[in-house]
């Protein structure tokens, strides 16, 4: 691919990112292989050779059986037959010896909203630390409630070898972790719907790629997905994915770091412009249309303390979709308030879903787009806080006591400004 083509691709990515909040990078096993990590088939065969006695079967016979199985079934079978601790110790020993490659360091330079990886190893995390970027591992629902400002989330879809209690060795277990009612599943839907997604280190035949298909955008497309890979041989297979909306960037691994560094520099410039678009006193108000009286009361309280409340219910569409309008308003807002009434909370507690799930969905988007510290949850005094929302700023409100609520909001704003 020549320099002009690369520049055109980067220009296209930047143009596409204008309508999106930020960029999320998905990192596959190809990145780890660039650091000297063996392929999964090589790892499995080596492990089987070194543990043939524990298998109670001849290694050669076992390897023939493995050839007819997909990756997750191989790992699940081996962990069951030999024991997951032995497999974890083997993987951790390899991980401890490896250092991040230039490709990892380039990936770590991207000003990403989040990183998502299906890799067990810690090479990405080592690269982030080397680049001076603090990170937080996201291994499940409870981790989402503790995300801190200026800390980049690293979602380890199958767990981390450095925190082995969360490792996932079967697709069944993965489906349970990312159930449709989990906070982690909602978080993934937010970033995949509102961010530009850049895949690095995956092949089109990579079965890990299939787990991301559940996160197509609201139009069931992948039009915000970019796939950075080595030149693709199977053009028919590529055409299938192109028809789904994915854009391809085909480079040899040796050329990828330079491309990524160039993209990172331009994204950093875009981020500076994005930050300057924020309106310092604008606060986004998320509330069901059925709570009109409370919405006006909250708007009055916010106006009285010098804030400028905006709501998606008050804004004309101007030819934009609801998601585009919502994302634009969030980009311009510095803070957000979400109001949940008793009915919404009780539905969620009893059914895992709510008849007013749009408010819960907006809460997930706001946490993903703005960060936990800039969002406060106002709950009806008679409602209980759902356990999966623990760690979020919240206040149990009696709406008739406006003075108390005004003081709480002022204190929260002051705390955010002083962080």
- Rounded CA separation 2/126 (Å): 32
What does DSSP assign to residue 163? B
Q: Are 235 and 204 in contact, with CB atoms under 8 Å apart?
A: no
Buried b (16+ CB within 10 A) or exposed e, 56-95: eeeeeebbeebeeeebbebbbbbbeebeeeebbebbbebb
Assign residue 388 a region (left: φ > 0; alpha: ψ between -120 and 50; beta: otherwise).
Answer: alpha
- Rounded CA separation 224/196 (Å): 5
For residues 298 and 335, state if they share a domain.
Answer: yes
For residues 243 and 379, state if they share a domain.
Answer: no
pLDDT at 140: 78
pLDDT at 47: 74
Whole-model pTM: value is: 0.68
Q: Are 140 and 177 in contact, with CB atoms under 8 Å apart?
A: yes
CATH number of the domain residue 31 falls in: 3.40.50.1220
pLDDT at 191: 81
For residues 314 and 217, state if they share a domain.
Answer: no
CATH number of the domain residue 377 falls in: 3.40.50.450
How many folded domains does the chain comprise? Answer: 3
Q: Are 168 and 121 in contact, with CB atoms under 8 Å apart?
A: no
Tokens 């690095």 -> residue: 200
- Rounded CA separation 25/302 (Å): 37
For residues 104 and 194, state if they share a domain.
Answer: yes
Residues 6+ apart with CB under 8 A from 101: 31, 34, 35, 36, 123
Looking at 244, 276, 308, which one is the last position of a domain?
276
Looking at 251, 276, 301, which one is the last position of a domain?
276
pLDDT at 355: 44
For residues 331 and 219, state if they share a domain.
Answer: no
- Rounded CA separation 415/419 (Å): 6
Looking at 50, 75, 97, which one is the last position of a domain?
97
- Rounded CA separation 241/222 (Å): 9
For residues 56 and 119, state if they share a domain.
Answer: no
Q: Are 285 and 310 in contact, with CB atoms under 8 Å apart?
A: yes
pLDDT at 237: 84
**Residue 359, both tokens:** 């408010």
For residues 109 and 241, state if they share a domain.
Answer: yes
pLDDT at 107: 95
- Rounded CA separation 180/186 (Å): 8
For residues 178 and 88, state if they share a domain.
Answer: no
> Which domain does 148 fall in, by range?
3-37+98-276
Q: What angle do CA 68, 69, 72 make, to 5 degrees?
A: 165
For residues 17 and 108, state if they share a domain.
Answer: yes
**Residue 16, both tokens:** 């596409």
For residues 132 and 257, state if they share a domain.
Answer: yes
C-alpha distances in angstroms, 315 versus 22, 209, 291?
A: 23, 38, 17
For residues 128 and 177, state if they share a domain.
Answer: yes
What averages of pLDDT result for each successive group of 10 residues across the chain (419 residues)? 63 63 86 86 75 61 62 65 72 88 93 90 91 85 75 87 71 55 75 85 77 65 82 88 86 90 80 60 85 80 85 67 76 86 64 56 77 83 63 71 79 79
Best CA proximity match to 307, nearest among 169, 412, 191, 189: 412
For residues 15 and 93, state if they share a domain.
Answer: no
């Amino acid at each position: 691919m020549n320099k002009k083509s690369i520049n055109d691709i980067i220009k296209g990515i930047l143009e596409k990112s204008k309508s999106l909040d930020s960029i999320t990078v998905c990192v596959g096993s190809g990145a780890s292989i660039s650091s000297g990590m063996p392929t999964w088939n090589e790892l499995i065969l080596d492990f089987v050779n070194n543990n043939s006695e524990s298998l109670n079967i001849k290694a050669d016979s076992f390897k023939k059986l493995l050839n007819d199985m997909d990756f997750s079934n191989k790992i699940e079978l081996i962990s069951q037959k030999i024991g997951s601790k032995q497999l974890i110790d083997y993987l951790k020993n390899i991980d401890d010896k490896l250092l991040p490659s230039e490709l990892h360091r380039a990936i770590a330079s991207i000003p990403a909203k989040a990183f998502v990886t299906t890799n067990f190893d810690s090479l990405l995390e080592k690269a982030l630390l080397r680049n001076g970027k603090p990170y937080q591992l996201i291994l499940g629902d409870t981790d989402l409630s503790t995300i801190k400002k200026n800390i980049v989330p690293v979602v380890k879809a199958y767990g981390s070898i450095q925190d082995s209690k969360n490792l996932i060795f079967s697709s069944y277990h993965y489906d349970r972790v990312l159930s449709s009612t989990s906070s982690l599943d909602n978080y993934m839907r937010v970033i995949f719907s509102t961010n530009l997604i850049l895949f690095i280190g995956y092949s089109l035949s990579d079965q890990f790629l299939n787990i991301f298909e559940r996160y197509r955008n609201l139009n069931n497309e992948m039009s915000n997905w970019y796939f950075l890979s080595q030149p693709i041989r199977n053009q028919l297979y590529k055409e299938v994915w192109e028809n789904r909306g994915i854009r391809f960037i085909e480079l040899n691994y040796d050329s990828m770091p330079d491309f990524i560094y160039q993209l990172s520099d331009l994204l950093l410039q875009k981020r500076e412009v994005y930050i300057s678009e924020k309106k310092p006193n604008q606060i986004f108000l998320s509330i069901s249309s059925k709570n009109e009286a409370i919405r006006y009361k909250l708007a009055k309280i916010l106006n009285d303390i010098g804030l400028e409340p905006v709501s998606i219910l008050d804004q004309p569409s101007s030819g934009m979709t609801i998601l585009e309008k919502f994302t634009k308003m969030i980009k311009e807002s510095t803070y957000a308030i979400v109001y949940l009434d008793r009915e919404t909370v009780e539905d969620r507690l009893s059914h895992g879903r709510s008849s007013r799930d749009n408010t819960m969905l907006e809460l997930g988007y706001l946490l993903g787009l703005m960060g936990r510290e800039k969002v406060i949850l106002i709950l009806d005094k008679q409602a209980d806080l759902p356990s999966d929302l623990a760690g979020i700023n919240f206040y149990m409100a009696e709406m008739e006591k406006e003075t108390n609520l005004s003081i709480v909001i002022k204190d929260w704003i002051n705390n955010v400004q002083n962080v």
